[in-house]
Amino acid sequence: MLDGKKTLFSGMQATGTLTLGNYLGALKNWVDIADEYMTFYCVVDLHSITVRQDPAVLRKRARDLLTLYIAAGLDPEKNCIYYQSHVSGHAELSWILNCFTYMGELNRMTQFKDKAAKHADNINAGLFTYPVLMAADILLFQSDVVPVGMDQMQHLEITRDIAQRFNGIYGDVFTIPEAYLGKTGKKIMSLQDPAKKMSKSDENPNASIYLMDEPDAIIRKFKRAVTDSEACVRYSEDQPGIKNLIDIYSSVTGKTPEETEKEFDGKGYGEFKMAVGESVAALLKPVQDKFNELSKEKSYIDGIIKANDEKANYYALKTLRKVQKKVGFPERIR
């Protein structure tokens, strides 16, 4: 808790292009809960370099992502929106926490195994200690809650373990964070393989809806979405393709799966897919328009970056100085 308000931290990697899954599963929820907490939303660029990046592309994607946060409805006056790399406390606290994290804990991280398999030519130490930097991200702002998907729960658990271990030695230094699970759009699946989550890095361009996709492209991708042979709009685990489309439609329209089934009772997949595509295109249009508008306002975005860098560094240093004192680092002479 900071300044009498519960604290919430989250962020997205500055790689790839945000998908509909990122929007419905995270960004839209962030906007909905922004007034309830003191919020810190970072553009996660330190984590991004565990995989080799083109420097110019990474810089552009980082700025685009920060702009998209605002375009999606996050008020930069109320929410601290900043670059992770502009707050050195993330890296400094990460090193300290590395010394309170066990190799066995990191060896159990399933995401490391998955990423190591995908990037066998670049299995670096940063990829292995990724969860410690994530723990530092969360603990740096004394976060009470962290919006996470089920695939990130393991990282939150190791964060809690590290914080409890540190507190057990030095007293109540860190807030122990809890998971915040969004009410809708928890997990949006691939349009081409509903057994996989919709991903920024999917090699099949028809598998994901990207936030900046044109309406025609969105509708075309939904028309090509995998369904099945039953030819009825029914919410069932036996129909994962249709179930995913119903989840998307429900998240966008606010209707329940049952209401969606009733709306399309007796109608074919073609009509349903068109309705889903049109509803998604309509949802994303205002975000796209705002993003395009903000992208032309260089001085405005630069001002937000400067102001929120200062705010994030102020609160990060409060935690970092306390931790440095606890572990015995010499005090700074002012």
Task: Return the active site residues.
Answer: 115, 197, 200
Residue 193 CB-density burial (10 A; 0-12 exposed, 13-18 middle, 19+ buried): middle
What is the C-alpha to C-alpha distance for residues 227 and 235, in angstroms, rounded to an integer? Answer: 12
What is the C-alpha to C-alpha distance for residues 86 and 290, in angstroms, rounded to an integer? Answer: 25
Cβ atoms 279, 255 nearer than 8 A: no
Residue given tokens 């375009």 in the structure block: 71
Cα–Cα distances in Å, from 147 out to 29, 33, 178, 275? 9, 10, 9, 29
Closest C-alpha to 308, from 84, 148, 94, 147: 84
Cβ atoms 235, 285 nearer than 8 A: no
Question: How many CB atoms sit inside 10 A of residue 238's CB?
Answer: 9
Q: 203 by DSSP, 3-state: which? A: coil
| Backbone angles phi and psi of 209, in degrees to 5 | -95, 120
- R_g over Cα of the chain: 21
Question: How many CB atoms sit inside 10 A of residue 57's CB?
Answer: 11
What is the C-alpha to C-alpha distance for residues 52 and 29, in angstroms, rounded to an integer? Answer: 30
Closest C-alpha to 185, from 70, 71, 23: 23
Q: Which residues pair with 38 in a beta bridge?
A: 7
Considering only the C-alpha atoms of the chain, give the largest distance between any 2 of them, rounded to a whole number of Å: 76
Cβ atoms 116, 29 nearer than 8 A: no
